Amino acid sequence: MENFEIYNVDGKLIAYGEANNLIEFIENNKNKLRKADLRYLDLTGIDLSGADLSHSNLQSANLSDAYLDEANFSHAMLANANLSNTVCYKTNFYYANLSNADMSYGVFTKGDFAYATLYKADLSNANFHGAYMYDSILSESNLTNADLSRANLCFANLNKAKLDRADLSSCLIDGIILNMAEIIDVTF
């Protein structure tokens, strides 16, 4: 057993205790993670389903292969994070910063990305079926082969985004910005 501590973004201790490893400790304390400072941690395969990570800092964290169903990442910092192959059903990313994040091959169905920043994010081969992406920033993102069917992309900024072979069938696209976007073999 090892001792672990988690601090919030203001430097206050929010969780402490013993566990066999960091993943187990964080999973056991997922109800105490609001505003947590988890920058640069390797959290590969972690189960944070239902966790409240709102206002947390997960910059450059590795969350690949994680289970994040119905977790709350609203206002969280996830810039440069690795969310590849992650499962995020109905996960809240409202106003989150996901700039330069790797979200390739992830499942983000029915997620809330309203007002989120996904600037230069890798969303290739990811599933955003039914996602709410109202007024989100997807400029220069890679959406190659992404499934955005039935997503709400109203007023989303996809300036210079790469949308090759993306599925935009049955999307809401009022006010969408597609200036200089690469649109090849897109399904509408």
Is there a contact between 28 and 45 (Cβ–Cβ < 8 Å)? no
Residue 47, token pair as written in the block: 């189960």
Q: What pLDDT band is residue 29 in, cutting at 50, 70 and 90?
A: very high
The contacts of residue 8 (CB under 8 Å, 6+ apart) are: 14, 34, 35, 36, 37
Mean pLDDT in the chain? Answer: 96
Rounded CA gap, 124 and 147, in Å? 9
Q: What pLDDT band is residue 1 in, cutting at 50, 70 and 90?
A: confident
The contacts of residue 137 (CB under 8 Å, 6+ apart) are: 116, 117, 118, 119, 156, 157
Domain positions in the chain:
2-32
